[in-house]
Amino acid sequence: MRKFIVGGNWKMNGSKALVNEISGALNAGDFGPVEIVVAVPAPLLPLAREKFKSTIGVSAQNCSQEKSGAFTGEVNVDILKDINVDWVILGHSERREIFKESDEVVGKKVSFAIKNGLKVIACIGEKLNEREANQTMQVVIRQLEAIRKELSEAEWANVVLAYEPVWAIGTGKVATPQQAQEVHSEIRKWLAANVSQKVADETRIQYGGSVNAKNCGELQSQPDIDGFLVGGASLKAADFVTICRCKL
Ligand code: 13P
């Protein structure tokens, strides 16, 4: 009932040539029931929207919570929609850490994007010291609560959550299927208790952090893992195709 969804987050990588290469590989593939979304750097979005077939979503990696105006360097929702981009990743740990986006800012961005017609991949996840201090759920719930308080129940239909433990991102240190499943299941319980059973049943929760062509099989079999958000391996056509085929 929850459609498995694989996102490729290129971060600050890629080129026109890579858009051509990866779109060629994905357009030719059969991925069964899996939904695919590719998040490229902003300048490559128009080319990506042109090259990827229409059933593959194209996503920005961030956008402003302001409508328009004097915000040099920012990208707004209206421009994304104008170029037919209908997804945005918000609250990635790199935005939170490096660019100091607070829980509150992330909540406001998610709300603004959804109220203005985009679909959102909202990222949450704890740092290593927080996991070691047994604060994983405390941190994840704090991040979730900042999003929940900005959204109506109906707006959750346009949210995909991405659980990305920061210690697993770009480190090669993937969460075990059991570790990921445990947090995903807790997130779903929290949604049931704090939003509604319907939202808990229907919201897709991706796992992100060192997902690759080898470990995706075991991770996808967990009952509360509804997709992946893939960094490094999404830049390699063959690996990303293998990950997108993990349900076949
Ligand atoms: P890696 O897959 O490179 O660990 O990155 C994960 C990530 O941050 C996806 O958003």
Q: Give the amino acid at 229.
A: L
Ligand 1 neighbourhood includes 121 CB (under 6 angstroms): no
Q: Which of 92, 94, 101, 130 is catalytic?
A: 92
Ligand 1 neighbourhood includes 58 CB (under 6 angstroms): no
Torsion sign, CA atoms 22, 24, 28, 34? positive
Residue at token pair 């659980």: 163
Q: What ipTM does the predicted assembly reach?
A: 0.99
Q: Which atom of ligand 1 is nearest to the CA of 210?
A: 4
pLDDT of residue 1: 85
Ligand 1 neighbourhood includes 61 CB (under 6 angstroms): no
Domains of the chain: 5-60+75-244 (3.20.20.70)
CA 72 / ligand 1 centre spacing (Å): 27
Ligand 1 neighbourhood includes 232 CB (under 6 angstroms): yes
CA 211 / ligand 1 centre spacing (Å): 7
pLDDT of residue 134: 97
Residue at token pair 């328009």: 68
pLDDT of the chain, 248 residues: tens digit per residue: 899 999 999 999 999 999 999 999 999 998 999 999 999 999 999 999 999 999 999 999 999 999 999 999 999 999 999 999 999 999 999 999 999 999 999 999 999 999 999 999 999 999 999 999 999 999 999 999 999 999 999 999 999 999 999 999 999 999 999 999 999 999 999 999 999 999 999 999 999 999 999 999 999 999 999 999 999 999 999 999 999 999 99
User: Active-site residue 184, yes or no?
Assistant: no
pLDDT of residue 100: 98
CA 185 to chain centre: 17
User: Active-site residue 35, yes or no?
Assistant: no
Max intra-chain CA distance, the chain: 48
